[in-house]
Amino acid sequence: MSDASTGGDVEPDHDHEHHHEGPGYATPQAAIEEGEREKLAYVMSLYVGTDVDAPDFVAVVDLDPDSDTYCEIVDRIEMPERGDELHHFGWNACSSSCHVEGLERRHLIVPGQRSSRLHVIDAKDRRNPELETVIEPEEVFEYDLSAPHTVHCIPDGEILISMLGDADGELPGGFLELNDDFEIEGRWEPPGEIEMNYDYWYQPRQNVMVSSEWAAPKTYYPGFDLDDVEAGNYGRKLHFWDWENGTVEQTIDLGEEGQIPLEVRFLHTPESTHGFVGTALSSNIFHFWRDDTGEYRAEKAIDFESRDHEDWDMPVPGLTTDILISMDDRYLFGSNWLHGEVWMYDVSDPSNPRRADSLSVGGTFGDVQEVQGRELNAGPQMIQLSLDGERLYWTTSLFSSWDEQFYPEEGERGSVMLKADVDPRNGTLELDEDFLVDWGECPEGPARAHEIRWPDGDCTSDVWQ
């Protein structure tokens, strides 16, 4: 179902048993059944850190194969200032509020990772969204927080943003809460619960939230320095929170094999206490779950080996920078950005992931290095899956300063968005070579592209109460 106008496209209003008045879908299976094929994507697009004199923007990409502008950027919502580093973003409401009458999935909360500026975009007209509200960095710094990252809604219409640093860009980070008028409500958690922060996900029926760790902004902003790893300046812990109280109940140190845990996801079924986190530097996937005693546990479940390359002095780590779980909780998808690989694992038994398929594309080792004659310049990075689990899309930029270190050509040529067709029945992936969106063609100059969202919910937005 659609939560707002799609600019003329009226989506079929399926009858379904669990009547709900609010945004989203009654269950993950309802999202699969009722969600239409994604016809638009919103994609974070960046000029920060380049010599292009233009602000970052949100790209609206046409994904409708029947459209004349298929694979084109059909609208750009420019930010008011330069220098934001648009990175991750989220909706004001998702399926976790599907019981809340009158609430709509309508506003995108778009933080500037470097600027600490928060933008609110009104996407009532899905094809022509408009910037509505801006919260300036100075207002954010007043709460001694900076570097906004993950945005999720809280089930009653409020919004929670993970913040990676204090006002100076040092530790500790924390969480900033916005109210449903998009004003800062305050800090969500009592001070001192965590030092490092990054991504988070919550499972309200289990009264749990899990958060991961990158580093202090002053550490990761300028680029990746191995000295910082040796000095212990990068994270390797998971924090399990009491969701109602906003307090950390348990912290798990993932150890040497769990360095830089980034994207963290619970399964979609609201009953589950299982989830996965990708540890980017160690290039492993950890499975976590609540055991019989009520404690959370984490165990390495997938190990991506470093590979030798004749041009590199040291073995090249995969750099597992993004993961997601299909809406039916059957597959874990992910990207190894440095190797140049997207993969899918069968996680129908979450403790024993089974490799289903992978594609070798872009990056250091990818078999496919160009699509439609366009050089890819970087590996697969942020991924997004259709609600029905049949189409996987990805972009190629990680973070402006880190891109410059590992794939300097990407800044000069811009990012691309690619797509693979997924056969969930047979567990296979196939690159769709007819699909290419090229940020090298943007009017102001080549841009980077990062996180992707669909207009009506996706596998990395929606949570169920």
Partner 1 sequence: MSGGSNGRSRAYDATLEWPDGRTRTLAVRDDETVLEAAERAGIALPYGCLTGACGTCTGRLLAADEGGTDGDEEPEALEVDDAFSYRRRPLALKDRHRADGYVLLCIASPRVDCRIAVGSSVQSELVENPWK
Interface residues with partner 1 (CB under 8 A) are 48-51, 53, 82-85, 114-116, 137, 141, 146, 165, 167-170, 217-218, 221-227, 311-317, 400-401, 404-406, 408, 411
Q: Which is nearer to partner 1, 104 or 166 (CB)?
A: 166
Decide: 327 and 454 in contact? Cβ < 8 Å. Answer: no
Q: Which is nearer to partner 1, 15 or 227 (CB)?
A: 227
Q: In one letter, which amino acid is 190?
A: P
**E strand intervals along 136-197:** 146-153, 159-165, 174-178, 184-187
Nearest distance, CB of residue 286 and partner 1, angstroms: 23
Nearest distance, CB of residue 51 and partner 1, angstroms: 5
CA distances from 178 to 154, 160, 184, 214, 457 (A): 10, 6, 4, 23, 20
**Residue 23 preceded by cis peptide, ω within 30:** no
Nearest distance, CB of residue 355 and partner 1, angstroms: 25
Q: Which is nearer to partner 1, 147 or 437 (CB)?
A: 147
Residue 464: phi, psi to the nearest 5? -115, 140
Q: Which is nearer to partner 1, 390 or 404 (CB)?
A: 404
Q: Which is nearer to partner 1, 155 or 174 (CB)?
A: 174
Q: Which is nearer to partner 1, 165 or 350 (CB)?
A: 165
**E strand intervals along 348-446:** 354-360, 370-371, 374-375, 383-385, 391-395, 416-423, 428-431, 437-438
Decide: 415 and 441 in contact? Cβ < 8 Å. Answer: no
Nearest distance, CB of residue 100 and partner 1, angstroms: 36
- How do 416-423 and 391-395 pair as beta strands? antiparallel
Rounded-to-integer distance, Cα 109 and Cα 91, Å: 6
Decide: 86 and 44 in contact? Cβ < 8 Å. Answer: yes
Q: Which is nearer to partner 1, 95 or 397 (CB)?
A: 397
Nearest distance, CB of residue 50 and partner 1, angstroms: 5
Decide: 316 and 310 in contact? Cβ < 8 Å. Answer: no
On the CB side of 3, how many CA atoms lie within 13 Å of its CA?
A: 31
Nearest distance, CB of residue 365 and partner 1, angstroms: 13
Nearest distance, CB of residue 189 and partner 1, angstroms: 22
Q: Which is nearer to partner 1, 116 or 461 (CB)?
A: 116
Nearest distance, CB of residue 337 and partner 1, angstroms: 13
